[in-house]
Structure 1
Amino acid sequence: MNAPSSTAPARALGTTPAGTPWHASLRVAVLASLAVIIVLLAFLWPSYTSKVKDLPLIVAGPPAATAQLTTGLSATGMFDITSATDREAAVVAIEERNAYGAVVAGPGGVEVLTATAASPIAAQAITGVAQKLAAQAAQQAQATGAEAPKVTMTEVAPFGEKDPRGSNVAVAGLPLAMGGMVGGVLVSLLVSGHRRRFGAVAAYAVIGGLALAAVLGPWLHVLTGSYLVEAAIMGAALFATASFIVGLHGLIGQPGIAVGAIVTLFLGNPLSGMSLPKELLPWHWGEIGQFFVPGASGTLLRLESYFPQASTTHGWLVLAAWSLAGLAMLWFGPHRDDHAAADTTTETAVETELLPA
């Protein structure tokens, strides 16, 4: 009679293996429910708590004409007013993304400049100002019997023809954040060795950046800037997110994957400013969001497509900082080769079992 295998589980005849205790099962259900609530709040909270405030707005024209405009606009509490000497200076400020729009006073009336590509919400608020100015001018003209001054609208930075409302630009930020997260998770779980992981992340960033730029640019025409520059931005964003997750995995092991995903998707993405102007978010969260990968990359893509005169230094520095942090954690982390060690242990165990006794 053959002796029972030492690897067989010791189990009494007629019994079934015990399942997870009920209290542990209930704890998992509660934790899962809390996770769903956190996910909902992460994406809903910014828009729910936002309000139109502190939007940078230029008021240009002769001091006598702009004084009354500045007083009236400041009283609304929606704008952060900056004065400019003339219309040309106001346009430069908008093109460099130092303001969302401008109100220019001149001899023939008032011209309101908007930049829908900077933010449709901000443009809508500034359009509302133009409508109020036109209504006030009509009332004054009716009361005095004089001709009402003209109030005209001019769009300085519109969206592309294929996406006139900018809805696709706002949505593009989520797949970019998720793409970096997915790449980091797959490399962490499927690739062994920190050098090979670095190579896999770099290759993924190059291929993914070229592919995503082709879809959002030449194919769907969501982005209208240089294809190669947009591919570089997307590749840098994918590399920054993926290397950060892989680096966390190398630093603290498996929990690093979850931490990296939370930072990217549930913190960085809602604060990115892709859907809402950063000024509308409560406290300083809008500014803080620009120091995360989704915020930096989203702003870079918007600037490349619609505001080529604006500075892009901040965005590139943020992406570089996240990439370097991820690589440092990967290179020097104590768990950088855990997956390779696990594979070696598994192969050794299988070979031992196959050897004859």
Structure 2
Amino acid sequence: MRFADELRNAVTPRAAALVIGVLALQLLFIASYIGALHHPDPKDVKVAVVAPPQAAEQAIERLRALPGDPLDPRALTDEQDARGQMLQRDIDAALLIDPRSTEDTLLTASGQGAAETRALIRIFEQVERAQQRTLAVEDVAPASAGDAGGLSSFYLVVGWCVGGYLCAAVLAISAGARPANSSRALLRLAVMALYSVVSGLLGAVIAGPVLGALPGSVAALWGLGALVVFAVGAATLALQSLFGIVGIGLAILLVVIAGNPSAGGAVPGPLLPDFWRSIGPALPPGAGTWTARSIAYFLGNAVMGPLLVLSAWAAVGTSITLIMASLRRNGEEDGGPVGAGTSPRAPA
């Protein structure tokens, strides 16, 4: 047999298309991660200035005049209000100006990410130096000793997301990407739900009691983990129902390539470029990371929006999976593993 014939037999058009798709995902991965993370640059970080009215107005004018608009300052008259808004995650930092002294105090929250804290300290040290003043720093919501850089919440959520799409992918590879009927779709979703509960619990226990990386309620992290895993898993099942085995690649595109660099983990949201900052809160990694940090360091505040995002992914994914299964003929064979035209056994 000639080489060309061997090549045609070894690499089918379907396999060639999938390889090209893998190459595209690889290049998008490189572009997304480098594009989002190669040059962290603060933009419109929400900060408060606590000072008498005239001093606050002058300070806000100086902060607004900084090149590149790194800060979005607003005046507050009460230190306790500033601390409360930081714990509510309404602002990221607060500058306390004492006109009777040459030293001011910057309130930070390293639990929301060390990279943002370092950037804010650097900016305010330069501002204070220009005014011939010094700066003291107080951490209102410090990252735990076992959570260097405040990254454990991000890595925990990434692990949950990986589990979600891999579990759905295994179901597709083992028994066909598209469930043959509604009953089998329900079974897949039930397996996904059980897996989500177990993996959510184990992830929370590892991050909390076992490694001591994250403080906060283990039960709350467990619930978050179950929701993250199921949201990603249900979305992957839905994409597989719509696009077959290619749906796994689309799930990776959404969760890994778009979701992880925009999640605010290694580089918090206010330091990301506009595109990634815009999409991050709407994707499971971003919503999950925000919520995990709130549970660990901010008394569980400001989680309603991200939880609604995760719930929407879970609900829409479940609905699409069931609708697509109901449209298939009962017992119809579907596409199986990569490189095969049909599943080697009855789809489940």
Category of TM-score, reference length = shorter chain: 0.7 to 0.9
The alignment status of 1:153 with 2:137, answered yes or no, reads yes
1:294 to 285, 293, 306: 285
2:231 to 229, 234, 240: 240
Matched residue of 2:41: which SS? coil
Gaps of 5+ in 2: 335-341
The CA distance in 1 between the partners of 2:122 and 2:310, in whole Å, is: 36
Matched residue of 1:83: which SS? strand
After superposition, residues 153-302 of structure 1 pair within 5 angstroms as: 153-190=137-174, 193-302=184-293
Q: Which residue of structure 2 lines up, in the alignment, with residue 83 of structure 1? A: 75
Moved more, 199-208 or 162-171: 162-171
CA 1:131/1:186 → structure 2, altered by over 3 Å: closer, same or farther?
same
Q: Offset of 1:225 from its aligned partner?
A: 1.0
Q: Which residue of structure 2 lines up, in the alignment, with residue 145 of structure 1? A: none
After superposition, residues 124-163 of structure 1 pair within 5 angstroms as: 124-136=118-130, 138=132, 151-163=135-147
Q: Which residue of structure 2 lines up, in the alignment, with residue 333 of structure 1? A: 324
The CA distance in 1 between the partners of 2:119 and 2:343, in whole Å, is: 62
CA 1:20/1:345 → structure 2, altered by over 3 Å: closer, same or farther?
closer
Q: Offset of 1:81 from its aligned partner?
A: 0.5
The CA distance in 1 between the partners of 2:73 and 2:268, in whole Å, is: 16
Q: Offset of 1:293 from its aligned partner?
A: 0.8
C-alpha contact 1:252 1:333 (8 A) present in aligned 2: no
The CA distance in 1 between the partners of 2:343 and 2:269, in whole Å, is: 50
The alignment status of 1:54 with 2:41, answered yes or no, reads no
The alignment status of 1:67 with 2:77, answered yes or no, reads no
After superposition, residues 9-28 of structure 1 pair within 5 angstroms as: 18-21=5-8
> RCO (CA 8 Å, sep 6+): is it higher in 1 or 2?
2
Superposed CA deviations along residues 208-257 of structure 1, whole A, max 9, x for unmatched, are 10111111111112221100110110110000000111122223332222
2:106 to 108, 112, 133: 112
Q: Offset of 1:276 from its aligned partner?
A: 1.8
The CA distance in 2 between the partners of 1:325 and 1:31, in whole Å, is: 25
TM-score (norm 1): 0.81
Q: Offset of 1:152 from its aligned partner?
A: 2.0
The CA distance in 1 between the partners of 2:2 and 2:12, in whole Å, is: 22
CA 1:345/1:315 → structure 2, altered by over 3 Å: closer, same or farther?
closer
C-alpha contact 1:158 1:164 (8 A) present in aligned 2: no
Read off the aligned partner of 2:72 and give its amino acid letter.
D
CA 1:162/1:283 → structure 2, altered by over 3 Å: closer, same or farther?
closer
Superposed CA deviations along residues 121-148 of structure 1, whole A, max 9, x for unmatched, are 221122123433553454xxxxxxxxxx
How many residue pairs get matched? Answer: 325
1:39 to 29, 34, 37: 29
Read off the aligned partner of 1:244 and give its amino acid letter.
A
C-alpha contact 1:251 1:335 (8 A) present in aligned 2: no
The CA distance in 2 between the partners of 1:199 and 1:330, in whole Å, is: 12
The CA distance in 1 between the partners of 2:215 and 2:169, in whole Å, is: 31
Read off the aligned partner of 2:277 and give its amino acid letter.
G
Read off the aligned partner of 1:116 and give its amino acid letter.
S
C-alpha contact 2:36 2:276 (8 A) present in aligned 1: no
The CA distance in 2 between the partners of 1:27 and 1:198, in whole Å, is: 29
The alignment status of 1:307 with 2:298, answered yes or no, reads yes
Q: Offset of 1:32 from its aligned partner?
A: 4.9
Gaps of 5+ in 1: 1-13, 139-148, 349-357
Q: CA RMSD in A?
A: 3.0
The CA distance in 1 between the partners of 2:122 and 2:2, in whole Å, is: 74
C-alpha contact 1:115 1:157 (8 A) present in aligned 2: yes
Superposed CA deviations along residues 306-348 of structure 1, whole A, max 9, x for unmatched, are 1115221101111110011111111110488799644998569
CA 1:17/1:80 → structure 2, altered by over 3 Å: closer, same or farther?
closer
The CA distance in 2 between the partners of 1:118 and 1:75, in whole Å, is: 26
C-alpha contact 1:58 1:102 (8 A) present in aligned 2: yes
The CA distance in 2 between the partners of 1:41 and 1:227, in whole Å, is: 36
The CA distance in 1 between the partners of 2:49 and 2:21, in whole Å, is: 52
The CA distance in 1 between the partners of 2:312 and 2:19, in whole Å, is: 38
The CA distance in 2 between the partners of 1:54 and 1:16, in whole Å, is: 60
The CA distance in 1 between the partners of 2:2 and 2:57, in whole Å, is: 88
The CA distance in 2 between the partners of 1:38 and 1:201, in whole Å, is: 28
Superposed CA deviations along residues 267-313 of structure 1, whole A, max 9, x for unmatched, are 12221112222233333531321011111111110100011152211
C-alpha contact 1:174 1:269 (8 A) present in aligned 2: yes
Identity %: 22
Matched residue of 1:222: which SS? coil
Matched residue of 1:99: which SS? coil
